[in-house]
Amino acid sequence: MAGHSKWANIQHRKGRQDEKRGKLWTRAIREITVAARAGGGDLSANPRLRLAVEKAKAVNLPIDTVKRNIDKATGNLEGVNYEEIRYEGYGIGGAAIIVDTMTDNRVRTVAEVRHAFSKHGGNMGTEGSVAFQFKHCGQIIFAPGTDEDKVMEVALEAGAEDVVTDDDGAIEVITAVGGFEAVKNALEAAGLAPDAAEVTMRAENPIEVAGEDAAKMQKLLDVLEDLDDVQAVYHNASLTE
């Protein structure tokens, strides 16, 4: 099955993240805190926490910091209480955007998100206004040139829902949320190292945003990503120059 390109978006995001270690560490700490508070500090019994710790390791968050924040979240140390809030809205050309946040001050967060939308050509929507255009799923992406047949064989055998070849040759494995870890582990055990792997909100029907509109849309996405309380930004725009 063919799909829209994810590669350029991934590389853009990685390039910006390389310059923002502090931001990545903050996000990792928040995710660890919320995951541990919700499901306990035992990694073997808390899949969300396992993924959060894996992400933390990927951005080189010190292991002592990881352990300390798990202890804070589970009541062994005093810590901050974060609230998970999702905002929905529209970008350039009517593209759908979801903004996931973790915050200790929802008044501050909603004001910052609304300001980013309005200043950069978008607008906030109501709850549920765009979420139906996305699927909550696992997404594992391999660079162009990866052995497609091997990825497909291993992924489907491990329980993946679909394997998509994007327009630029990148390979995208789609899984159920509950099956994400098993599929990812099977692929890695087969010697297939993904370039990106996460539980995400995947756009069901991407819309093309081109030229100047694409540049404006990317600016809006970057501004949202840079907000202190934002954990993740999802959208259904396929950006082309």
pLDDT digits (tens, 9 = 90+) for 9-68: 666 666 555 557 788 999 999 999 999 999 999 999 999 999 999 999 999 999 999 999
Fold match flag (83-132+207-240 vs 134-203) = yes
Query: Which pLDDT score, from 0 to 100, does residue 78 have?
Result: 74
SS3 letters for the chain? CEECCCHHHHHHHHHHHCCCHHHHHHHHHHHHHHHHHHHCCCHHHCHHHHHHHHHHHHCCCCHHHHHHHHHHHCCCCCCCCCEEEEEEEECHHHCEEEEEEEECCHHHHHHHHHHHHHHCCCEECCCCCCHHHEEEEEEEEECCCCCHHHHHHHHHHCCCCEEEEECCCCEEEEECHHHHHHHHHHHHHCCCCCCEEEEEEEECCCEEEEHHHHHHHHHHHHHHHHCCCEEEEEECEEEEC
pLDDT classification of 194: cutoffs 50, 70, 90 = very high
Query: Which pLDDT score, from 0 to 100, does residue 3 have?
Result: 43
Task: Choose which CATH entry (1.10.10.200, 3.90.280.10, 1.10.30.50, 3.30.420.40) describes domain 14-73.
Answer: 1.10.10.200
User: In whole angstroms, how far apart are CA 103 and each of 68, 109, 173, 216?
Assistant: 19, 7, 31, 27
Mean pLDDT for the chain?
91
Q: Write out the two tokens for 85.
A: 């809030």
Q: Which pLDDT tens digit goes with each residue over 54-73?
A: 999 999 999 999 999 999 98
pLDDT classification of 1: cutoffs 50, 70, 90 = very low
Backbone angles phi, psi at 183, to 5 degrees: -70, -45
Tracing tokens 């200043």 back to the chain, one arrives at 119
* Residue range 126-154: mean pLDDT, rounded: 96
Domain segments of the chain as ranges:
14-73, 83-132+207-240, 134-203
Least Cα distance to 5 among 209, 187, 225, 227 occurs for 209
Give me the percent of the chain exceeding a pLDDT of 70.
Answer: 92
Q: Which pLDDT tens digit goes with each residue over 152-187?
A: 999 999 999 999 998 889 999 999 999 999 999 999
pLDDT at 148 over 60: yes
Query: Which pLDDT score, from 0 to 100, does residue 45 have?
Result: 93
Q: What number of CA atoms fall less than 13 Å from residue 199's CA on the CB side?
A: 17
Q: Which pLDDT tens digit goes with each residue over 80-132?
A: 788 999 999 999 999 999 999 999 999 999 999 999 999 999 999 999 999 99
pLDDT classification of 2: cutoffs 50, 70, 90 = very low
Contacts made by residues 46-52, CB under 8 angstroms, sequence distance 24+: 47/181, 50/181, 51/180, 51/181, 51/198, 51/199, 52/28
Superfamily of domain 134-203: YebC, transcriptional regulation domain (3.30.70.980)
Query: Which pLDDT score, from 0 to 100, does residue 9 have?
Result: 64
Query: Which pLDDT score, from 0 to 100, does residue 81 have?
Result: 83
Query: Which pLDDT score, from 0 to 100, does residue 13 have?
Result: 60
Write down the CATH number for the domain with range 83-132+207-240.
3.30.70.980
